[in-house]
A = this chain, B = another copy of it.
Amino acid sequence: MSERAVVTLEETLAALAEGKKYTTLRDILVTMNASDIAAIFDDFPEAKLPLLFRLLPKELAAETFVEMEPEAQELLIRGFSDNELKEVVNELYVDDAVDIVEEMPANVVKRILKQADPEMRKMINEILKYPDDSAGSIMTTEYVSLRPDMTAEEAIKRIRRTGVDKETIYTCYVTDNNRKLIGMITLRTLLLAEEDAVVSEIMEENIISVNTLVDQETVAQMFAKYNWAAMPVVDQENRLVGIVTVDDAIDVLQEEATEDFEKLAGMTPTDKPYLRTGVLETWKSRVPWLLILMLSATLTSMVLTGYESSLAACTVLTAFIPMLTGTGGNSGTQASVAVIRGLSLGEVEFSDLFEVVWKEIRVAVICGVTLAACNFVKLLALDMHVFHTPGLTVPVAMVICLTMIFTVICAKTVGCLLPLLAEKIHLDPAVMASPFISTIVDVLTLVIYFQVARHILQI
């Protein structure tokens, strides 16, 4: 199913809506997946949207609603009667309801909470208490809990009775009288066990749980590591308060990767898709870093002004500045991105500092020597004998190539150190990426270049 097909289908649906062919519309919509319907509804003419939404059967309506963009959700809610809102809200899973509440303006939130069942309202308010991006904020409180003295048969009966409202019934949690988490059991184990097997004897007792306040990215990375379908969330007293399910973990992993990409490129993360972000919003997310980096480039100007006499004595040096700073920037970026990704995958941590630096220095030495050697050949063969670059002599070529080696070593050392230091002082390592490293490396490169030039060329 390509995105192109969705676009064409959208036009068909718009035409049907225009022509008031509601039965046909309904017949088409019920064959579709909630995510795809949501994608179409997001771009649908506002006036027709509530009408179309009302065509959906109750359950599909709730599923579709969850997948829509906040703008379209708000539009729909404002158009809902109290009864309609009640129906949609109480059909939602509580973690989805919380996501929606968090995006809506205060007066809409008030209406939603008023229409929610008391039980639902209590759960929403409970989850809203947890800090942004914590395990508590992405968990759901709708899980199956079992008692340790139940038999497999009783447990399955309980699942059949209470399962319809639970986000997952495949992983169930065993708690004692104080709601303390004592075990975990999958529906698979229950179903494949003897009917009279006792839960406490077949459950998994070595379970890993997370505290409500743990960062959501840590939780998501644990899913990637342990291949689970759900993870229990407990409070300070080890009482079970909720679960995080794998679908939410995937969303977190995707979001966090996107955030890292944006930070890497010097942008403030936004949580909207690219084409839905307005021009001013995009400007706001991009201009601060550009400004900071532009202003910090004052340093490179000062270095260049400081060495003006050397430059005047040997003007050909100017021609190779962008190549040297470029190669330095690229080398530093490679090291920093490798370390940043390693940190966010949990493969590298601050205590590996010496191992990382030692590795980068060795890599830098052979990279630097390779580049310098190739460059030397190229300078002599191409620039001197083909292009006849004025002022380019063998000593100048040596200055350029020596600078190359030192620059690559400095760049890779800075590149791997900065993200590790950022991690240590609890800054996001991703901020220490490409643009930031390049600015520092530019200054270092220029200082190295002119110092080497002064020594070798005596200028």
Contacts and interface: CB of A to CB of B under 8 A. Distances in A.
B261 A264 contact: yes
Contact of A267 (B33, B338, B339): B338
Contact of A337 (B264, B334, B346, B367): B264
Contacts of A347: 273-275
Interface stretch (A109-117, A234-242, A285-293): A285-293
B274 A33 contact: no
A254, A311, A338, A362: most-surrounded residue (chain B CB, <10 A):
A338
A16 interface: no
A44 to B, nearest CB: 18
Contacts of A191: 156, 159-160, 163, 169, 187
Interface stretch (A79-87, A121-129, A324-332): A324-332
Q: Give the 4 A-B CB pairs with smallest separation, nearest first.
A: A297-B323, A265-B337, A274-B342, A227-B247
A304 B322 contact: yes
A416 to B, nearest CB: 10
The majority secondary structure among interface residues of chain A is helix
A290 B371 contact: yes
15 contacts: A1-B208, A32-B206, A163-B188, A164-B192, A187-B191, A224-B254, A246-B250, A264-B337, A275-B359, A282-B363, A283-B363, A290-B331, A298-B323, A302-B319, A322-B442
Interface in A271-322: 273-275, 279-280, 282-283, 286-287, 289-291, 293-295, 297-298, 300-302, 304-305, 308, 311-312, 315-316, 318-322
Contact of A274 (B338, B387, B390, B434): B338
A349 interface: yes
